[in-house]
Amino acid sequence: MITVDDDLLREMYRRMSRIRKFEDTTKELLLAGELYGAFHTSTGQEASIVGSCMALRIDDSMVGTHRSHGHPIGKGAQLDRLLAELMGKETGVNQGKGGSMHLSDFSVGSLGETSIVGSGLPVSTGAALAYKMRGEDKVSLCFFGDGASSQGTFHESLNLAAIWKLPVVYVCENNGYGELTSAKDAISVEDISVRAVGYDMPGVTVDGQDALAVFEAVSEAVERARGGGGPSLVETKTYRFENHAIGRLPEHYRSAEEVEYWRTQRDPLVLFRQVLMERGFDEQQIDDLDAAVSEEIVAAIEFARQSPAPPPEAAFTHLFANPAPSAG
């Protein structure tokens, strides 16, 4: 049984609150014209993210998805530099060049995300291979969605990880939809975790709205990986409250009743508040955590707005690992 003390519970809620408030705030900024480009939020999936990330050490690595704001926050990234990145500012985690779907923050072990579905699977697997070859006591965790579980990268990565017993944990955030397509219409199995059998690794499905259930399942997988037992597949059944992308696509593919049910009955933050209160926290203590996060958000907005844009010549930096000398 995994031990969960009050400090861990407090930090789990704080990170979940940070994700929710960050996503709500950045949605407002996007609609107000302060942010640019496609924008995919993870609102509703906070328990899956934080429950997974809290099972890792700070020096373990994590790879997210195109729905990428929540993952680095769950791993401990600073909100001010993340928001600056979304505003295209020089102080952003990627100097304003990555934007919403291409965030990375090596300071907390966030190796990055891309807009290509399933692209993080071989990256995370490669990181795990590097750890094993170097003899490092580290674990690599990969987030991906239900749609990515049908990509070739999923099967190739799990197969190699199993053969080489790599220290990697695959977390499938099954939110029921691949863009506008129901998983029921696109995936041959009800539980994606059963696909682990084909690669001779443990596979488990948990309630993705229950942060402690996710934490326990991923902690066991991380312990197995760190101990040399090889990879595991954890599927979290979760749900995104917002549309696939904010302000860009129609939402005719799911009913208003379905969305309302998840928002009102399965909100991970509401469910976790109940857990905290059952563990002896009072409402004021929890409200104080939310208030502190709100102050952090305000400070992040100010930091991002006051930060400079990258200079024009920055367009020519960070293009190559070994740039050729200038002809001049």
Mean pLDDT of the chain: 94
Q: Would residue 325 count as lying in a domain?
A: no
Q: Would residue 318 count as lying in a domain?
A: no
Q: Which of 99-103, 150-154, 244-248, 304-308 has the lowest mean pLDDT?
A: 244-248
Write the single-letter amino acid at 88: G
Mean pLDDT (whole number) for 215-222? 98
Reported as a pLDDT band with limits 50, 70 and 90, residue 315 is: confident
Query: Which H or E run contains 58?
Result: none
CB 100 within 8 A of CB 39: yes
For residue range 277-298, list pLDDT tens digits in order: 999 999 999 999 999 999 999 9
Query: Which two three-digit tokens encode residue 15?
Result: 């990170």
Token pair 């994590």 is found at: 62
CB 154 within 8 A of CB 143: no
**Predicted confidence (pLDDT) at residue 143 exceeds the cutoff of 90:** yes
Mean pLDDT (whole number) for 20-46? 93
Q: Would residue 301 count as lying in a domain?
A: yes
Structural domain containing residue 34 = 6-308
Q: Which of 129, 126, 147, 176 is nearest to 66 (CA)?
A: 147
The pTM score is 0.94
Q: Which domain CATH number covers 274?
A: 3.40.50.970
Q: Would residue 42 count as lying in a domain?
A: yes
- Give the pLDDT score at 23: 97
Q: Would residue 323 count as lying in a domain?
A: no
| The total number of structural domains that make up the chain | 1
For residue range 56-68, list pLDDT tens digits in order: 999 999 999 999 8
Query: Which two three-digit tokens encode residue 203?
Result: 């596979």
- Give the pLDDT score at 270: 98
Q: Would residue 326 count as lying in a domain?
A: no
Quote the strand ranges of 273-323, DSSP E.
none
Provide the angle, in degrees to the nearest 10, between the axes of the packed helices 6-31 and 283-306: 40
- Give the pLDDT score at 90: 96
**Predicted confidence (pLDDT) at residue 326 exceeds the cutoff of 70:** no
Burial of 10 (0-12, 13-18, 19+ CB in 10 A): middle
- Give the pLDDT score at 19: 98
CB 112 within 8 A of CB 123: yes
Reported as a pLDDT band with limits 50, 70 and 90, residue 264 is: very high
Between CA 74 and CA 287 the distance in angstroms is 20
Query: Which H or E run contains 52?
Result: helix 46-53
Q: Would residue 320 count as lying in a domain?
A: no
- Give the pLDDT score at 21: 98
Q: Would residue 12 count as lying in a domain?
A: yes
